[in-house]
Amino acid sequence: MVLVLALGDLHIPHRAADLPPKFKSMLVPGKIQHIICTGNLCIKEVQDYLKSLCPDLHITRGEYDEETRCPETKTLTIGQFKLGLCHGHQVIPWGDLDSLAMLQRQLDVDILVTGHTHQFTAYKHEGGVVINPGSATGAYSSITYDVNPSFVLMDIDGLRVVVYVYELIDGEVKVDKIDFKKTTATTHSAH
Amino acid sequence: MDNPLSQNPDSTWGRFFRNAELEKMVDQDLSRLYPEHGSYFQTPGCQGMLRRILLLWCLGHPECGYRQGMHELLAPLLYVLHVDVERLSEVRKLYEDHFIDKFDGLSFEENDVTYNFDFKKFLDSMEDEIGSHSNSKKVKSLDELDPEIQTIVLLSDAYGAEGELGIVLSEKFMEHDAYCMFDALMSGAHGAVAMADFFSPSPAAESHSSLPPIIEASAALYHLLSIVDSSLHSHLVELGVEPQYFALRWLRVLFGREFSLQDLLVIWDEIFTADNSQLHRDSEDDESSSFKILNSHRGALISAVAVSMILYLRSSLLATENATSCLQRLLNFPENINLKKIIVKAKSLQILALDSNVSSLSSTFGGAYNCSKSAVVRGHSLSSDSVSPKTPLSLVPDSYWEEKWRVLHKEEELRQNSVGKQTPSGKKRWSEKVKLSLSRTESDPSPARAENCKKGHRSSIRRSLLEDLSRQLGLEEDAEKGGCLGASNSEDDHCIEVLVEGDNCTNKESICAAEERCESGSGTVVSDENSSIFSEPASPGSGTNDHENDTEKSSVASNLFIDENDDHQQSNLEDSPLPVSLPPEDVSLNSLHENESSGKMVSAMKERRHLSGRFQWFWKFGRNNVGEETSDKGGTNEAAKSPNHDCKRQVIESVFQQDRCQVGSLDNFSKNILVGKGQVTAMTALKELRKISNLLSEIV
């Protein structure tokens, strides 16, 4: 029952002022155990806010991030799952499944979380999951202005992960769920 | 769609998070449970069991949830089970050969009985056995065994791996048993008192008052206390000590925090053996105002234990001046206590509690005064329904009080012989009919004796005074006690005084009653009189001089010493202070001034009149200054001062002693007479006396 929040591409304060109020009201401290952030927050204040939601915060560096010390990619193990994190502007073509799968193999993770496209996508691919949480603020991307605010909440429970997608469509929060089961248990390797 | 961040409170995730909260709270409480007995309570096995039981119960009763304190109710139950099981296994180990594994001639019925064992009762009895462990010894035959062990062994005789006793006391089922016990305790097991009620913040469904049950129960405590010891009750009320400040903790954990574990188990034995079934009240009774907690024997006993605990701290409570220190003392119950005493007292109060709940109260819980008033009336006339609960006492006809007075007097006569016995204040006398043996703490005065000393009956007093003059000077040691009595005597006198002046009451019969009482109580009167002399000099310093009072006093004084003017006596005896001298006092006080000032007046008057009276008596024997009787009070005082420095000093010392040693005699004497409304006068009297003693100390 480990809850992991995945979000990114907030672009605060350049492209958006803040998270949508409906999202903010849902995100209360105490419920979530980990937060993974794909990048492009951009400022420290947003980082502090996320830290207040949960102390365990992982960020990778996006191209507009003002915090320069974050890594480009990150891997972590939660429960039985290995998670990989990357902003995604490094992977060309942006948002391409095969390229992202390459990255996934490279990082050797079960779940790869990337962003940059500001579009929510989730693929089940080769025994792994590739997730793009989209933009939590609905900020415009390099490609398009038509962006719905969205983020992802993963519920990791043993060998099963349930991915809840929260999207703000027409002012309403829509939730969707994706189930994913892992076939083999992970052997924990020292990091 | 059900998602973790769902705002829907009924969602599974919502419940998940709420349960997580619950677990956190329970864990927090458990980690701090009984650290002094950590060797058992902090073991993971015990903690796990407690945790599971609590969580399960709370999840099963979502309307109650988990409240701090529930774990403290559960822990001793589990402890008892654990100890019993351990003891059984100990005994088994030592006396293995005696535990035969076959039928021993016990019939089937007997065996079946054990299956219906009431766990609580049985474990209580088992606990008594365990309470006194015996040393292990080598024994050949069963008879040589200690009787407890014999019982254990015999009870285990049956076939089956664990025997009969094993069915009840089984290690495997300890948790289950504890859960059942806890559930029964919390839900009340179809009885009246359910502990879970005390944790709920909202009023119970069928409660007649709109108060949460714990507040109602605390009010019940105060109600009982007001019946038993009204001055302490009024003192607490005056200080603003609401009962729930301390009763919350006491009741919610059933005194778990006030006593050590072993003492607590003894108290719980008593409480749990009391029957918890709902007592059915007559339908004619005003249903709207009886206390729920007092609806069963067990509830009554719980309230009685609480009240007896308050009474145990009586002297220290009466000595406190503000609510904080009062609460401090109540919440830090002393360590080394005479538990037996508390329990015995509680048992006697239990009967009273049950009776007091028979008749209903006024619905104003905040009106402690009204409650105590009506309670007193009720307490006395258990069967009389003529007076409705809400009738203020002032509307009660005078004859009612006469009647009560007479009844009271008869009781008192019966009690005159037991000199050594310390009886509570006059008000309590009525309730004493019900409450036979009340072992009071050392702080109790003998107000009954004091009450008996009706100065109005001059003849008997004088006679006895003359007889016991020689004792007077040697009564130093009595001064302490006598001082208060003397003071109370003064109160009596002043009461009479007041009543005379008020002249609204014309209870001649009560006078006769008082006279009779005085006669019978003459022996005690003497000592009071004697010692009262010591307290007398305390008053001269009083500032307020009232001429009209002086004349009154002197006239009474003259009565006292010179002649027996029966008429005068009669008038003086008018409405001798009733133990619950509320209406007459009310009336008379009202007739004098407004309450406050009259109270001051009364107390001042009392002291001074008494003083003048006593002084004159003293002089008569010591100095033959008979002519002083009619002199002005002031003159008397001045003259009196010089020759009586010594005795004054003694008096002051004794007065201060009384003050210091927290006998609370000053409080007591005021308490004796002034009940309910008289609380004002009591306080003022107290203040007066303190002022006086201070002044005197300056003089001396």
CATH of the domain at B230: 1.10.472.80
CA atoms within 13 A on the CB side of B212: 13
Q: What is the average per-residue pLDDT within B194-223?
A: 76
Q: Provide the Cα torsion B429, B433, B434, B436; round to 10°.
A: 90
B312 domain residue, yes or no: yes
pTM listed for this prediction: 0.52
CA dist B627 and B669 (Å) reads: 31
Residue A176 and residue B1: Cβ atoms within 8 Å? yes
Does residue A111 register a pLDDT over 90? yes
B232 domain residue, yes or no: yes
Pick the most confident of A172-181, B223-232, B534-543: A172-181
Q: What is the pLDDT of residue A120?
A: 93
Does residue A135 register a pLDDT over 90? yes
**Average per-residue pLDDT for chain B:** 61
Q: What is the average per-residue pLDDT within B123-142?
A: 43
CA dist A11 and B368 (Å) reads: 66
CA dist B391 and B307 (Å) reads: 26
Q: What is the pLDDT of residue B137?
A: 35
Asked whether the beta carbons of A40 and A63 are under 8 A apart, the reply is yes
Strands (DSSP E) along chain A, which ranges?
A: 2-7, 34-37, 57-59, 73-78, 81-86, 111-113, 120-125, 128-133, 150-157, 160-169, 172-181
CA distance A20 to chain B (A): 15
Q: What is the average per-residue pLDDT within B323-330?
A: 85
CA dist A14 and A11 (Å) reads: 6
How many CB pairs (< 8 A) connect A and B?
25
Q: Which range among A18-32, A115-129, B28-42 shows the weakest confidence by mean pLDDT?
A: B28-42
Residue A3 and residue B4: Cβ atoms within 8 Å? yes
Residue type for B238, please? E
**Which residues in chain A are closer than 8 Å to B1, comparing Cβ atoms?**
175-177
CA distance B209 to chain A (A): 40
Q: What is the pLDDT of residue B572?
A: 40
CA dist B109 and A164 (Å) reads: 63
Q: Tell me whether A44 touches chain B (CB under 8 Å).
A: no
* Closest CA in chain B for residue A163: B3
Q: Tell me whether B17 touches chain A (CB under 8 Å).
A: yes
Q: What is the pLDDT of residue B253?
A: 86
* Closest CA in chain A for residue B16: A1
Q: Provide the Cα torsion B127, B132, B135, B137; round to 10°.
A: -70
CA dist B417 and B482 (Å) reads: 18
CA distance B18 to chain A (A): 11
* Closest CA in chain B for residue A24: B5
Q: Which domain holds residue B200?
A: 192-280+291-359
Q: What is the pLDDT of residue A165?
A: 93
Asked whether the beta carbons of A24 and A18 are under 8 A apart, the reply is yes
Residue A153 and residue B3: Cβ atoms within 8 Å? yes
B258 or B673: which carries more pLDDT confidence? B258
- For chain A positions 112-171, those within 8 Å of chain B (CB to CB) are 153, 155, 164, 166
DSSP A145-170: S----EEEEEEEETTEEEEEEEEEET
Read off the pLDDT of residues B549-597 as tens digits, 9 standing for 90 and up: 444 444 443 443 444 444 443 334 333 333 333 343 334 334 433 444 4
B229 domain residue, yes or no: yes
Q: Which range among A91-100, B197-206, B463-472, B524-533 shows the weakest confidence by mean pLDDT?
A: B524-533
Q: Tell me whether A27 touches chain B (CB under 8 Å).
A: yes
Q: What is the pLDDT of residue B470?
A: 47
Rg, chain B, Cα only: 31
Q: Tell me whether B19 touches chain A (CB under 8 Å).
A: no
Phi, psi (rounded to 5 degrees) for B494? -70, -35
- The pLDDT-based confidence of A10 (bands split at 50, 70, 90) is very high
The count of domains in chain B is 1
Does residue B38 register a pLDDT over 50? yes
CA distance A72 to chain B (A): 29
Does residue B433 register a pLDDT over 90? no
**Which residues in chain B are closer than 8 Å to A166, comparing Cβ atoms?**
3, 5
CA dist B338 and B336 (Å) reads: 7
- List residues bridging with A133 in a β-sheet: A120
B219 domain residue, yes or no: yes
From the list B279, B270, B330, B260, the residue with the least C-alpha distance to B301 is B270
Read off the pLDDT of residues B506-515 as tens digits, 9 standing for 90 and up: 444 443 334 4
Other residues' Cβ atoms within 10 Å of the Cβ of residue B32: 11
Tokens of B358: 């028979």
Does residue A73 register a pLDDT over 90? yes
Q: What is the pLDDT of residue B350?
A: 82
A2-181 placed in CATH 3.60.21.10 = yes
- The pLDDT-based confidence of A163 (bands split at 50, 70, 90) is very high
Could you tell me the residue ranges of all domains in chain A?
A: 2-181
- List residues bridging with A122 in a β-sheet: A131
Interface confidence (ipTM) of the complex = 0.79
B417 domain residue, yes or no: no
**Which residues in chain B are closer than 8 Å to A175, comparing Cβ atoms?**
1, 3, 6
B207 domain residue, yes or no: yes
Q: What is the pLDDT of residue B528?
A: 40
Read off the pLDDT of residues B333-368 as tens digits, 9 standing for 90 and up: 887 778 888 888 888 888 877 777 655 443 333 334
Residue B3 and residue A164: Cβ atoms within 8 Å? yes
- For chain A positions 3-22, those within 8 Å of chain B (CB to CB) are 3
Using DSSP, state whether A121 is helix, strand or coil.
strand
Packed helices B645-660 and B678-699: angle between N→C axes, nearest 10 degrees: 130
Q: Tell me whether B436 touches chain A (CB under 8 Å).
A: no
Does residue B153 register a pLDDT over 50? yes
Q: What is the pLDDT of residue B499?
A: 37
CA dist A56 and B19 (Å) reads: 23
